Structure 1
Amino acid sequence: MSLIDALPSPSFKRRPWHPNVVLLCLSGAMLAAAWLLSFVSVAPNRIVSGTAFGMVDAISWPGAALVSLLFIAMAALSSVPTSRHYRAMLGIIILILLLMPFGLMVAGHWLVDPSLPQARLGIGAAYWTVLFVLLLCLVELRLRLGLSRWWPTLLLAGVGIAWWGCAALWLDRLALVQEFQAREGQFYQAVGQHIALVGTAVGVSVVLGMLLAMLMRRYQRLQKIAFTLLNFLQTIPSLALFGLLLAPLAWLAANVPPLAALGVSGIGNAPALIALIAYSLLPMVRNTYIALEEVS
């Protein structure tokens, strides 16, 4: 045996491949959605259903290639997960979010006939799917990079402001913008009603939750009954709860004039308020009860 044969042969060990499966699958899902689902739709007015268009028809081949390259880059970066690659993916996500309204602008310029004043551009399934998956990617990146909870919130707020500016300046043919402009007063009124309804429900839930928690500490037999009932309320679907409240509230409104004068009826704010209170009581009571047990 020669000296060369006696020397140990070098062994090359392949490093195991551990991609971030979540981000890799999400990147592939966005790429598939962009190509397979409708990108936008165009309708001559708000009554006639719109015609769906794919990504190539909406933003042309160069735009489709750019979008595809961004998703492929995200998939490539997620296949070798490092802190630097995660930061690069975060930058790509921010870039995509900022480019999305400009894609709608390009689609509106190419597809909407300027001679039809009532023509409108609708956002397709691909847009909504990509937006939803991007939010999932942000959640995953926040966990991987150890970012605070406020960081994604501030990021989305900045992107939302950019979207709002684009919608106000250049997306006047977008169906959502046209509907908002036509019903701006109703929109703000509905937002005010929603805030008042939620605020009232939270206030009532806090008061009832504190009272129930204190009674449960005083009377131990009440604890099991109350938690059983509150847990049971959580199992009732919201639509079913509205159906269960419809007949009793309608009967009360018909037979108790003071309640009818207050606006109680089978439909409207009364069942919504009761449902919100019922669903929020369990966390209020449980957390208050635990807090009282800890400090006692």
Structure 2
Amino acid sequence: MRPNSVLISLMLVLLATWLGLDAVSVAANRIVPGEGVGVGGIAGWPGVLTSLMPMLAVLLLAWRPTGRHLRLALMLVILMLTALPLWLVVAAAATVDPSLPQARMAIGPAVWIAIFVLLLALIELRGRVPLPSWQNGLLYLLPLLSLALSLMLDLEPLALRQEYQVRKSAFLTAIGEHLLLVSAAVGISLSLGVGLAMAMRHWPRAQRFGFTLLNFLQTIPSLALFGLLLAPLAWLSDRYDWLAALGISGIGWAPALLALIAYSLLPMVRNTYVALEEVDPGVIDAARGMGMSRAQIFRQVRLPLGLPVILEGIRITTVQGIGLTAVAALIGAGGLGRFIFQGLGQAAMDLVLLGALPILIMALLADALLAALTEKIRPGGTH
């Protein structure tokens, strides 16, 4: 069999970065710059050799990628992802002086690149190793359990954890604001998208104008769109007291929600239109032959058959909205973006990560869950 060039390349990158870049950065406090420490400076050469063994094993297995070898490589990749949080506990104990209460350890480029490369390897292997759903869930649960165990053991010196502890209440509030804004935008855009798609089907002349307008909205940069909404919303809230009582103003959640809806409409309308329009005409003729009305055909034929495509639009809209909501923090809409911009202003990268990592995790979870649901309900999908 031909070697798996993707897996081999990923493992070579992982080996080079693991040995050549700093694994962690240690600083006496939040103000002073950290000093990089490599893997050898943390665990010594015995620890380095031990950490290299699974990487080399996956590299060798990729040269002859039989089904059994790829399954074993998948287990090793999961093992390495599971070991990384526990390895950070070892690094904290080896590098941070316990007599310095303000000392902190930041995650270095070697670890970040290792996580990224291992996730790419996981994606590559999952497409080639079919596993039952319960085994998939168990495998993906192991790294999360390892992370939870590491946090309970001794990761107090981790800079990211320290930033979280200082802002715990604000962080939880920001997550709620972020999810609420995204949920509202997706829900409203779904309702509007279905209505617009159905209108375009009934009035074909509206199709070209509608898609032209929605494409134009997509070309406007997010900050520019926020700026365009400030003046009219401020004027409306000043003129109508009941709008001001609802919290609508030139800044805050109102312009952010309107902008998110504007960006969400194109994928929602396009996918809904395609889902309803591309149903096999033979199926529609069979439904008419059975005496179904137009409303029954829509509810019982078009909508169920087009639901996977509509869910795909919801997936795109949700992932896009999770990312765009971070920018909305610039106009006072709240959410996790406030930590990103505060960290950039203070040159505190761990504060930036405190806002960016949950956004990344939410986007990945939303993408995976909605993609799995789409695949499950798709005709011929896994059940």
TM-score in terms of structure 1 length = 0.85
Match of 2:363 in 1: none
Asked if structure 1 preserves the Cα contact closer than 8 Å seen for 2:78 and 2:140, the reply is: no
Residue 166, structure 1, aligned to residue 150, structure 2: yes
Asked if structure 1 preserves the Cα contact closer than 8 Å seen for 2:83 and 2:146, the reply is: no
Q: Aligned letter for 2:10?
A: L
SS in 1 for 2:180: helix
Which digits, 9 at most, give the CA deviation of each residue in 1:147-192, with x for residues without a partner? 4688656533331132022112221111122222222211111111
Which digits, 9 at most, give the CA deviation of each residue in 1:268-290, with x for residues without a partner? 32333223212221222123223
Return closer, same or farther for 1:243/1:155 CA change in 2, 3 Å cut-off.
Answer: farther
Asked if structure 1 preserves the Cα contact closer than 8 Å seen for 2:86 and 2:147, the reply is: no
Residue 73, structure 1, aligned to residue 57, structure 2: yes
Asked if structure 2 preserves the Cα contact closer than 8 Å seen for 1:59 and 1:103, the reply is: no
**Unaligned runs of at least 5 residues, structure 1:** 1-16
Match of 2:5 in 1: 21
Give the distance between the partners of 1:105 and 1:221, measured in 2 at CA: 63
Per mean C-alpha deviation after superposition, the further-off stretch among 253-262 and 170-179 is: 253-262
Return closer, same or farther for 1:267/1:94 CA change in 2, 3 Å cut-off.
Answer: same
Give the distance between the partners of 2:61 and 2:67, measured in 1 at CA: 10
**Looking at both structures, which has the greater relative contact order when contacts are Cα pairs under 8 Å and sequence separation is at least 6?**
1
Match of 2:190 in 1: 206
Deviation at 1:60, TM superposition (A): 1.8
Asked if structure 1 preserves the Cα contact closer than 8 Å seen for 2:4 and 2:63, the reply is: yes
Question: How do residues 144-293 of structure 1 correspond to structure 2 at under 5 angstroms?
Answer: 144-147=128-131, 152=136, 155-250=139-234, 252-253=236-237, 257-293=241-277
Match of 1:96 in 2: 80
Q: Aligned letter for 1:143?
A: G
Asked if structure 1 preserves the Cα contact closer than 8 Å seen for 2:86 and 2:146, the reply is: no
Question: How do residues 128-147 of structure 1 correspond to structure 2 at under 5 angstroms?
Answer: 128-147=112-131
2:99 to 110, 115, 119: 115
Return closer, same or farther for 1:21/1:265 CA change in 2, 3 Å cut-off.
Answer: farther
Residue 46, structure 1, aligned to residue 68, structure 2: no
Return closer, same or farther for 1:34/1:253 CA change in 2, 3 Å cut-off.
Answer: farther
Deviation at 1:240, TM superposition (A): 4.5
Q: CA RMSD in A?
A: 2.4
**Unaligned runs of at least 5 residues, structure 2:** 280-296, 299-383
Asked if structure 2 preserves the Cα contact closer than 8 Å seen for 1:98 and 1:159, the reply is: yes
Asked if structure 2 preserves the Cα contact closer than 8 Å seen for 1:253 and 1:259, the reply is: yes
- Count of residues paired in the alignment: 280
Give the distance between the partners of 2:88 and 2:117, measured in 1 at CA: 18
Q: Which has the larger Rg?
A: 1
Deviation at 1:214, TM superposition (A): 1.8
Q: Aligned letter for 2:107?
A: I
Deviation at 1:144, TM superposition (A): 0.8
SS in 2 for 1:144: coil
TM-score in terms of structure 2 length = 0.67
Per mean C-alpha deviation after superposition, the further-off stretch among 217-226 and 256-265 is: 256-265
Give the distance between the partners of 1:90 and 1:22, measured in 2 at CA: 14
SS in 1 for 2:102: coil
SS in 2 for 1:45: coil
Residue 85, structure 1, aligned to residue 81, structure 2: no
Q: Aligned letter for 1:129?
A: I
Give the distance between the partners of 1:152 and 1:51, measured in 2 at CA: 39
Deviation at 1:245, TM superposition (A): 4.0
